[in-house]
Amino acid sequence: MCQMRVIMETAAGPEQIMDEVTGLKVTPEGIVLESLFDEPRLIAGSAVKKIDFMATLVTLSPRGAEHGSVDRH
């Protein structure tokens, strides 16, 4: 099974949000994270900034902050 780790980009650096994420849904309120054994968790006012499939890592940012320079690496 492929489970992701989710972090939030903050001014102080990356903040761990949730491990073993099995689903991610974009809603008008923010990002809803799902796992096998826990209730879905809403990360209000957030947006997906980057998904790294090789590292099984999703990076979120506060909504509006995701439109920056493009990292092509």
pLDDT in tens, 36-65: 999 999 999 999 999 999 999 999 999 977
* Confidence label for 69 from pLDDT (cuts 50, 70 and 90): very low
The pLDDT assigned to 70 comes to 44
Which of 12-16, 60-64, 68-72 has the lowest average pLDDT? 68-72
| Structure tokens, 65 | 């902050």
42-48: Cβ within 8 A, 24+ apart: 43/6, 43/8, 43/17, 46/8, 48/24
What is this structure's pTM?
0.84
Our measurement of the distance from residue 50's CA atom to the centroid of its chain's CA atoms, rounded to an integer in Å, reads 8
Q: Please check the confidence at residue 12 and state whether its pLDDT lies above 80.
A: yes
